Each structure stands twice: as structure tokens, then as C-alpha cells.
Structure 1
Amino acid sequence: MDHITDKERLLLIEQAVAGDKKALETLVLGVQDLVFNLSLRMLGTFPDAEDASQDILVKVITHLSSFRGESSFSTWVFRIAVNHLKKYRKHMFAKLPLSFEFYGDDIRNGKVDDVPDLTQDVEKSVLAEELKMSCTNVMLQCLDVESRCIFILGAMFKVDSRIAGDILGLTPEAYRQRLSRIRKRMAMFLNEYCGECGGGACHCINRVNYAIQNHRISPAHLDFTSAKPISSRKMAEVKEAMEAIDDLSEEFSFYKAYESPEVLKEAIRAFLAGTAFSVVRNA
């Protein structure tokens, strides 16, 4: 989406609330990638992120008339998304919680050499990249929900501490202090165990078959490597009021941003083609 000004976005909101389908579609298209990437980091898997993103975007649409312009539109969307995701319990890791202790023990003691070739003729380097993206994403599930929110807003989206604190109900100082502690904890774990992003001995190429055996990746469903990455410039265009926090963000540059999957886009198009306008006008 081309960059639009705050004034132009406010006009789009007015038009959407009045029943302008094109204006509503433009607004939703402008934030759906942001919502999907936040959901993916919070929930860990593409299917769960798709389901949660659809719920969040419907909430954005149905609550659009309540937007008063007291914050940027993207900040308002972030607040809706974060509140939804903090309470979301339908995802896989809500039923199978992880911990750094479990992750570390599996890296140390997993019998990676005892597994036969399960690659199904898929290039092993491709599967290793899929595992890397999946592993570093799922690793976020070792954090509690609040810490995960703080880390994702700070390390991936680089949200200004005042805005992030407002979204999470924290003072900017408390947010920065907690973000610093969480980032150090994540960096320590990577440095101890991960040979791809830190100084550890674990390398994805050696654990591909083990990961397939344990259903962590599938040669038939390469969600991360088949997804289309989004440039950092484009992500900056679809969210405003987002500022860099500090230079430590480079430690976590392996967290890529992705375009919304086509299944999510189609679901939102179907919703917009239905009763969306009457819902927006009467909300």
C-alpha cells in the first residue's frame, strides 16, 4: 500500500464508517500484514496466526466507528490486537506450553543421530531454513504472555516505549526496564544453545530429520520458507508512530516479517463482501 498521511487516513475512516467499501478495504489492507505478524510471533504457528488475525481484523472493522483519532490508527489497531492475543487460548501452545528449560534440554539430549532420512526429497538446506525460522519463532513461546508482548513490540516492531507502555498499561520506564531484561534473557539463551543466531553448538542442518520426526516442521508444509517476506521499509509504511529503541535490535534481525497468507486475505475479502458495511455503520 502506498504511504498515506494521518489526515488521509482519518478521511478514509470517515468514508468507511459511512459505508464506502473501497475506503474500508484500503484501511484493512493497510494493517493486515502488521496484525498477522504480531499474531504469528505471539502464537507461534501460521494456522493459529491466520485464525487470530481474522478475528482481530473483524474487531477492527466492527469497532471502527469508535476510533477517535487520539492515537495513530496503527497504535489503535495494535491495542485491539494485543488485548485479543493476550487472552487467546485456542492456539497450540496454550495447550502445550514451552519453557527455556525444556528447549535447552531438548537441544542437549535430543537423539538427532538416531533418526532416518525423512526429508522426502526436499532440499535439506531448505528444510534447515524452515527449521531456523520456526525454531526462533516458537522460542518466543518460552516467555509468558506479557513478556512475549513486550519483547515482540520492542525487538521486532521497535515500538516507542511511550506507545508500547500505553498499549500494555505500563509506564515507559517500566516497559524499557522489562524489555531490557527480556532481551538479555533471550540473547543469553541463543548464545548458549543456538549455533545459527548465537554461539551455541546447535545447528539446524543437523536437526532437520529430528524436527520432522517430532512434527516441528513438515516437508509438505513449508510455511516460513514459502511465505513472502516484507521489506522493513514496507513495514514502516503500514504502521506509524513506531520508532527504534536501541541498537540491540540488530541481535534479533532474524525475525522476518511476512505478507499475510492468501487464505487470510480471502477470508477478509469475503467478510468485506458481506455485511461489513452495515456492521460498521451500526457498531
Structure 2
Amino acid sequence: MNNKLTETEMSVLIDKAVEGDKKALEKIISSVSDLVFNLSLRTLGTFHDAEDAAQDIFVKIITNLSSFRKESAFSTWVFRISVNHLKSYKKHMFANAPLSFEFYGADIENGKIDDVPDMTQGVEKTVLSDELKMSCTNVMLQCLDTESRCIFILGTMFKLDSRIAGEVLGMTAEAYRQRLSRIRRKVADFLGTYCGEYGGGKCRCMERVNYAIQNHRINPAQLDYANAEEIPVQTVIDFTEAMEEIDDLSQSFGFCKTYKSTARTKKLIEELLNSEPLSVIKNS
């Protein structure tokens, strides 16, 4: 977690927050804000959707805090609340227009990238290429069904131990490991076939920048990834038990980076903590 709070320290803060201590509540939410934001970003595909969903999750954490029985790590409980919310979240960009690996592959094979004029708006093409690389690989995860996406993210990005991940997802550790292995292979096979950045495919981000801008996949005026602050995953989640070695595919998933919560996310948290409805919740 962000501030490296021990479970004992977290337990004390939770008790204080449940009694109405606002400072304690702020510390709790701050400690998991990056975790919730990154999980939302990878699950939903875009920064704006991740920010909105994260706000909803923070509300659920706050309103259910008194029900946390301290039978597991607090971060495990937060993961469970977050995953359950994200699996049923229907307000994101891809909710009504799901992607598939077949569609993504066909676009790479058939997209008319040479027929597009310069649309870079004066932004360096290398910057736009990096933005496209991170955006494309993140959106690629939308080709997985929601539960498979969560399994991939928990195992590949957060590197959760299978017992903990299984607990979060409501399945056995063995079932989780088997599904994670199949999903990682599926993603790696796609990257190996099509992606020239993380595999041996023909697709090169630099060559597709203008095509991506034309199709509203990146926006030179709003470079979310370029403006985000990358942080080590260990600052987001610090489990003593790391994920077991599942396969030898880790080098294929270098795009699974973690970022600090955006300024908008922090503003939404501040507004939430100072809101009148929250005061009613805390005083109820």
C-alpha cells in the first residue's frame, strides 16, 4: 500500500475512522487510492472511466468500513470490493461495444495507415508513439471477458499470490492458477502474432500514430499516459507472498505499469471526504 502501513496500524486507523475520525479515514483512503485507480484503469481501459469508477469504489469502502472484520488483510478486502464493483460496472467506454482479439487483429492487418495525413498537431511523434503503445496494450485487455481481465490483472500486474487472488475472485487457488496460465498464454500469443513492440508482429506504434489519432484512440491534446507518474508496483501493493511462477511469459507483459492516482482522482477523493452525504454516513 502507498504509505506502507502495517496491518496493526491499519486496524487502529479503521477503528478511529469508524468512530468518526476524518484524519484516520483520509489516511485509509490515501493508502489504497493508487491500488484502486490502477485496478480500475486496467479493467476499464481509459483514465476517465477509471477515475469515475474509483470514486464509486471509495464510496463503497467508506460506507462498508464498519463491516470489515479484519479476518484478512485490508488490501485483500479492498481488492474484493473493487473487483466486484468493476465486474458489474456498465458506464465505461467499452461496456456496450466490447472488443475481441479477432477485431483487434483485423484492424492491425487491414487498417489503412498510409492514407492518413499528419495529425500530430505539433506534438513529437515519439511522444505520441509511446502514448499509443501504452493505450493500445491497455485497451487490448478489453478483448478479454471481465473476469478473465481481472484474473490477468491481479496475477500479472499486482502479482498476487494465488490463494489471495482466489479469495478475492471467489475461486480456489488451483482454479485461479489454471485460468491465469491460459489467459496469459492467450494474451502473449496475440502480442507475439501482431505486436512489434512486445512481440514479433508487424504492428509498429510509430507507423500508426496518425491512424490512431484519426480513429480517436489517442489525442495529442490529452496525453494521459505521458502525463501520468509511473511508480513501482511495490508502492501500490506490498504483499509478503508474491505470485508463484506460472510461466516464462513475464517479458511479454512489460506494458503492465502502475501509476500514481491522477489529479482528478485526488480531487474527487477530497470532494468525497468533505461532502455532506459522507458526514451523514459518518455520524449515522
TM-score using structure 2 length = 0.95
Say which SS state the counterpart of residue 94 (structure 1) adopts.
coil
Give the Cα separation in 1 of the matches to 2:243 and 2:251: 11
How many Å apart are 1:184 and its aligned residue?
A: 0.3
Identify which of structures 1 and 2 has the higher relative contact order when contacts are C-alpha pairs closer than 8 Å and 6+ apart.
1
1:44–1:141 contact (8 Å) kept in structure 2: yes
Matched residue type, 1:9 = M
**Taking structure 1 as reference, are residues 29 and 60 closer, same or farther at Cα in structure 2, changes over 3 Å only?**
same
Give the Cα separation in 2 of the matches to 1:59 and 1:82: 12
- Equivalent residue runs for 1:180-195 within 5 Å: 180-195=181-196
1:154–1:245 contact (8 Å) kept in structure 2: no
1:56–1:81 contact (8 Å) kept in structure 2: yes
**Taking structure 1 as reference, are residues 187 and 105 closer, same or farther at Cα in structure 2, changes over 3 Å only?**
same
1:16–1:23 contact (8 Å) kept in structure 2: yes
Counterpart of 1:201 in structure 2 is 202
- Equivalent residue runs for 1:44-63 within 5 Å: 44-63=45-64
How many Å apart are 1:33 and its aligned residue?
A: 0.6
How many Å apart are 1:109 and its aligned residue?
A: 0.5
2:12 is aligned with 1:41: no
2:145 is aligned with 1:152: no
Give the Cα separation in 2 of the matches to 1:233 and 1:179: 21
2:248 is aligned with 1:244: no
User: Which stretch of the first structure deviates more once superposed, 273-282 or 13-22?
Assistant: 273-282
How many Å apart are 1:242 and its aligned residue?
A: 5.4
- Equivalent residue runs for 1:1-283 within 5 Å: 1-237=2-238, 240=239, 243-246=242-245, 248-275=249-276, 276-282=278-284
Give the Cα separation in 2 of the matches to 1:166 and 1:116: 50
Of all paired residues, the percent bearing the same amino acid is: 63
Give the Cα separation in 2 of the matches to 1:234 and 1:117: 39
2:191–2:252 contact (8 Å) kept in structure 1: no
TM-score using structure 1 length = 0.96
Give the Cα separation in 1 of the matches to 2:216 and 2:128: 13
CA RMSD of aligned residues (A): 1.3
4+ residue stretches of structure 1 with deviation over 6 A?
none
Matched residue type, 2:39 = L
Matched residue type, 2:75 = S
Give the Cα separation in 2 of the matches to 1:148 and 1:231: 21
Give the Cα separation in 2 of the matches to 1:47 and 1:214: 18
Q: What residue ranges of structure 2 are gaps of 5+ in the alignment?
A: none
How many Å apart are 1:29 and its aligned residue?
A: 0.3
How many Å apart are 1:281 and its aligned residue?
A: 5.0
Q: What residue ranges of structure 1 are gaps of 5+ in the alignment?
A: none
Say which SS state the counterpart of residue 95 (structure 2) adopts.
helix
